[in-house]
């Protein structure tokens, strides 16, 4: 191996060592090998999120919702969390909120309702952790229902949800 190749190899090894979960480094990315999460149910009124395997509750979490949580989301900026049945359709490891998994809002019905009212339906609805920005994190810690329409949990909880839930999982958001 020539000196340049050795140097590159050594640099890659050191960089990878910094990404491991050994020692004091803790990864946000957990693994899960339990029963499949077949659906997610959110009861907005109770501020609860349930990870389900068929009819069995695997996990239960307390959640914060949009800043105007009563009623279904209709328009961009209304501060409401959607109601209805959607899918988990993406994940964001580089989220502003620790980690996040995306919800397929808006659907065709949501878009049609907003358009009929001359408005936009909004979007970018996620289940996410706490803000990465310290000022936002401090504000979120002081109030309930602080998101713009998303579902917020603790950072430890979103790490678990991120590991357990697969894209394509059905999510039912109930009043």
**Ordered structural domains, the chain, with CATH:** 30-174 (2.40.440.10)
Q: Which of the 8 DSSP states describes residue 75?
A: S
What's the burial of 121, exposed, middle or buried (CB within 10 Å: 0-12/13-18/19+)? buried
pLDDT over 90 at 110, yes or no = yes
pLDDT tens, 38-47? Answer: 999 999 999 9
174: three-class secondary structure by DSSP = strand
- Please tell me whether the peptide bond between 89 and the residue prior to it is cis, using omega within 30 degrees of 0: no
The structure's pTM equals 0.82
In the predicted model, what is the mean pLDDT of the chain? 87
pLDDT tens, 16-41? Answer: 333 333 444 568 899 999 999 999 99
Q: Cβ atoms within 10 A of the Cβ of 79, count?
A: 18
- Joined together, the tokens standing for residue 150 give 């998303």
């Amino acid at each position: 191996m020539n000196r340049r190749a050795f140097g590159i190899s050594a640099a890659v090894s050191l960089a990878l060592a910094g990404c491991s979960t050994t020692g004091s480094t803790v990864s946000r990315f957990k693994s899960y090998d339990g029963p499949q999460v077949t659906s997610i149910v959110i009861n907005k009124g109770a501020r609860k999120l349930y990870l389900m395997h068929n009819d069995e509750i695997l996990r239960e979490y307390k959640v914060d919702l949009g800043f105007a949580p009563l009623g279904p989301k209709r328009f961009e900026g209304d501060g409401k969390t959607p109601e209805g049945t959607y899918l988990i359709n993406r994940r964001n490891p580089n989220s502003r909120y620790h980690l996040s998994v995306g919800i397929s809002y808006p659907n065709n019905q949501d878009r049609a309702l907003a358009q009929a009212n001359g408005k936009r339906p909004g979007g970018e609805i996620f289940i996410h952790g706490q803000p990465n920005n310290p000022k936002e994190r401090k504000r979120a810690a002081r109030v309930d229902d602080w998101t713009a329409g998303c579902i917020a949990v603790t950072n430890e909880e979103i790490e678990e949800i991120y590991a357990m839930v697969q894209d394509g999982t059905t999510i039912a958001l109930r009043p």
